[in-house]
C-alpha cells in the first residue's frame, strides 16, 4: 500500500479538528450519519443489499451457482466476479 505523506500544516489541521470536536462537514467527532440497510432488494440474485449512509447509496447483488471444474484443473474451483459502479 502506498504511504500517505502529510505536511505539517495538514497534520496540525487534523489535530486541531479533533481537539475542537470539528469535522469538515460540520459534524462533531462523535456525530454519526444515519444508516439504512435493506436486504433482498434485487430479485434475480442469490442475495442483495442496499446501504444508505448519508449521501452515499450502495447496492450489492451476489449470484452463486455450482459449475463443473475446468478440464485443465479438475480438482480446483474458480471464481468470477464483476464490479460495476455509478457516481453521480
pLDDT digits (tens, 9 = 90+) for 33-86: 889 999 999 999 899 999 998 888 999 999 888 888 888 988 888 777 777 777
Q: Could you tell me if residue 41 is left (phi over 0), alpha (psi between -120 and 50 degrees) or otherwise beta? A: alpha
The whole-number pLDDT of residue 47 equals 92
The whole-number pLDDT of residue 83 equals 77
What is the C-alpha separation between 75 and 68, in angstroms, rounded? 10
The whole-number pLDDT of residue 2 equals 81
pTM: 0.57
Chain-centroid distance of CA 10 in Å reads 26
pLDDT digits (tens, 9 = 90+) for 3-34: 889 999 999 998 998 899 988 888 888 888 88
The whole-number pLDDT of residue 16 equals 92
User: 61: buried, middle or exposed (CB in 10 Å: 19+, 13-18, 0-12)?
Assistant: middle
Amino acid at each position: 500500500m502506498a504511504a500517505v505523506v502529510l505536511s505539517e500544516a495538514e497534520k496540525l489541521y487534523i489535530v486541531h479538528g479533533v481537539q475542537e470536536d470539528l469535522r469538515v462537514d460540520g459534524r462533531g467527532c462523535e456525530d454519526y450519519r444515519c444508516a439504512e440497510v435493506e436486504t433482498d432488494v434485487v430479485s434475480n440474485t442469490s442475495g442483495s443489499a442496499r446501504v444508505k449512509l448519508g449521501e452515499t447509496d450502495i447496492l450489492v447483488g451476489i449470484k452463486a451457482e455450482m459449475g463443473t471444474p475446468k478440464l485443465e484443473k479438475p480438482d480446483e474451483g474458480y471464481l468470477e466476479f464483476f464490479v460495476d459502479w455509478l457516481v453521480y
